[in-house]
Structure 1
Amino acid sequence: MPLRALKARKDAPQVLPPMPSREQVYNDIEQRRLKEWENYQKSHRFMEEAHTNRIFLDIGIGDALAGRLVVELFEDVVPETAAHFRRLVTGESGTHDATGVKLDYLHTSLELIDRKHGYVRFGDLLAYGVRLEPLRQETFKVRHTSRGLLTMTSYGPHLCNTSFSITLAAAPSLDFKQVVFGKVVDGLPLLEKLESLPLDQVGRPLTPVMIALCGTLTGGRPPGKWASSQDRTACKEDLAYEALE
């Protein structure tokens, strides 16, 4: 007589798969960043853009990916500011010693849409308890004259930290207060989408907006593998950023 297979009881406890470790999550992010860099290098191999300093910001609205901003950094004009921003885009700085927070723009939210003054603001890690050394304001040579300029938010003279803004139009009110360090070279229509979002009384979007993924498109090959802060200080930089083959 054939045996009948027993069906699982509906009320039987379900065994959940183990949660991935923080290192596994970070490694997955680094591999995705490496893939984006490789794809851009292949598609722009013989173009002038391959020799510029470019990064990308993938923007999510709600649960959907809204689009990508490709940004060219003004490293010749403001090298310190451009390098500071690039490190936060790539996660090269590791984690914050005091809080353990990853020093990375990934999953940081859009905090403010200021239609009156013409900008949107991202990237404030102060909300997570992160306090970094203030970044000096290198120069106000580049003015806020057009749409799509990236500028470091300043809370006073030489008090820049991690927060940055993207102009929606000319923003002369920011001149001589904030340092322009880059411009959007691809994805400007996405700014129109952000500008049209419904807001609360203080200018926050009613639908959550965040940086879903970010990384570099040009320059040195990304690591493809997470290196902790201890790993970064315990070995040479070229070893700490060795790419995952």
Structure 2
Amino acid sequence: MASSLPQPPPLPSLHFTRRSLLLTSTSTLSFPSLSSSATIPPNPTITDRVFMEFGLCPNFFLPNRTLGDTISTLCSDSTSVGRVIIGLYGNIVPLTVSNFKSLCISASNSNNPDSSSYKNTLVHKVFPGQYFLAGRQGRPEKGEVRPPRHLPRNIETVDPTAFALTHSRPGVVSLSLSENDDDDEIKFSPDYRNIEFLITTGPGPCPQLDSKNIVFGTVLEGLDVITSIASLPTYQPAERIRQFNDLAEFFGDERAQNARAIWSRPLTTVYISNCGVLEVAKPSLTPSLP
């Protein structure tokens, strides 16, 4: 006699319609949300314009200068390099732009002993093929910017969104943070502000500056002036001096940093002879520069 085994229940009929297939696929597949898409770069609209005039002064670092000599007295017969017009991105980094403009506007009050201005201050370092530095804070008699106590502290220096723009071409104007070599004693002073800036000179981009310095403007006119400054010969220490300096820094000798202050300094003094603000009738988009 054949054994009667329990039979398995019949399988349900599988019938897929086009609609059920679509519902199944959409419920199992995940699609990226709009929030995960690539971040759209900020719109670099020019909201303000300033000008800077540069000059060459052969007398500023002469040893026979007196205690009261300044750039304005020593460089009265300076040679003009030219004028540069800079467009500023006030919609992206408004505080950085506001502080920069303030130090250009106050040029008209530079005869005031308490005034802070970029006028009559040095371009203190030039790195050929990359950028130059200007606007260092310090002592006016040394060609540095008087501590601008009236300026608010720049909280954009700790805002990641302020570092979105890159140093992609010649003529980029940037707030110098990573390249700033001021002493810690100066930086920790309650009067210290981030005002030192750099301008890229080309011929190519400077990606090593990206995400470390705040791009807040671009050169609109006078890129040839920037190129002329970049071509100035600078002081470059011998390899033996560099090695000795590295050793001194390793042992904590503070004189090592003081010695490096003159490295890459132009052998001919170049300075900002005048600066100011230009009125903008209507904001415009940044032009493409070479």
Into which bin does the TM-score normalised by the smaller protein fall?
Answer: 0.5 to 0.7
Q: Distance in 1 between matches of 2:176 and 2:164?
A: 16
Residue 212 of structure 1: aligned partner = 273
Q: Distance in 1 between matches of 2:108 and 2:209?
A: 28
**2:96 partner SS:** helix
Q: Distance in 1 between matches of 2:81 and 2:264?
A: 20
Contact persistence 1:52–1:218 (CA under 8 A)? no
How far the C-alpha of 1:147 sits from its partner, in A, is: 0.6
Q: Distance in 1 between matches of 2:138 and 2:268?
A: 21
How far the C-alpha of 1:127 sits from its partner, in A, is: 3.6
**2:176 partner SS:** strand
Q: Distance in 2 between matches of 1:219 and 1:86?
A: 13
User: 1:142 is aligned with what amino acid?
Assistant: L
**Matching of residues 1-245 of structure 1 within 5 Å:** 52-62=47-57, 63-91=78-106, 100-115=113-128, 118-128=130-140, 130=147, 132=149, 134-136=153-155, 137=157, 138=159, 139-154=162-177, 161-169=194-202, 170-201=205-236, 202-218=263-279
Cα distance change, pair 102–66 in 1 and its aligned pair in 2 (3 A) = same
Cα distance change, pair 209–218 in 1 and its aligned pair in 2 (3 A) = same
**2:272 partner SS:** strand
Gaps of 5+ in 1: 1-50, 221-245
Q: Distance in 2 between matches of 1:80 and 1:148?
A: 21
Contact persistence 2:173–2:198 (CA under 8 A)? yes
Q: Distance in 1 between matches of 2:211 and 2:128?
A: 20
Q: Distance in 1 between matches of 2:169 and 2:193?
A: 22
Residue 62 of structure 2: aligned partner = none
**Any idea what the Cα deviations from partners look like across 1:12-67, whole Å, max 9, x if unmatched?**
xxxxxxxxxxxxxxxxxxxxxxxxxxxxxxxxxxxxxxx94111000101211110
User: 2:48 is aligned with what amino acid?
Assistant: N
Contact persistence 1:110–1:122 (CA under 8 A)? yes
Cα distance change, pair 160–143 in 1 and its aligned pair in 2 (3 A) = farther
Contact persistence 1:146–1:167 (CA under 8 A)? yes
Contact persistence 1:108–1:125 (CA under 8 A)? no
User: 1:183 is aligned with what amino acid?
Assistant: T
Look at both structures and tell me which one has the larger radius of gyration over its CA atoms: 2
Query: TM-score, normalised on structure 1?
Result: 0.60
How far the C-alpha of 1:162 sits from its partner, in A, is: 1.5
Q: Distance in 1 between matches of 2:148 and 2:220?
A: 31
How far the C-alpha of 1:174 sits from its partner, in A, is: 1.1
The size of the alignment, in residue pairs, is 165
User: 2:169 is aligned with what amino acid?
Assistant: S
Cα distance change, pair 131–160 in 1 and its aligned pair in 2 (3 A) = closer
How far the C-alpha of 1:126 sits from its partner, in A, is: 2.2
Query: TM-score, normalised on structure 2?
Result: 0.52
How far the C-alpha of 1:73 sits from its partner, in A, is: 0.4
Cα distance change, pair 175–65 in 1 and its aligned pair in 2 (3 A) = same
Gaps of 5+ in 2: 1-45, 58-77, 141-145, 181-191, 237-262, 282-290
Q: Distance in 1 between matches of 2:137 and 2:224?
A: 26
Contact persistence 2:47–2:90 (CA under 8 A)? no
User: 2:234 is aligned with what amino acid?
Assistant: L
Q: Distance in 2 between matches of 1:85 and 1:178?
A: 14
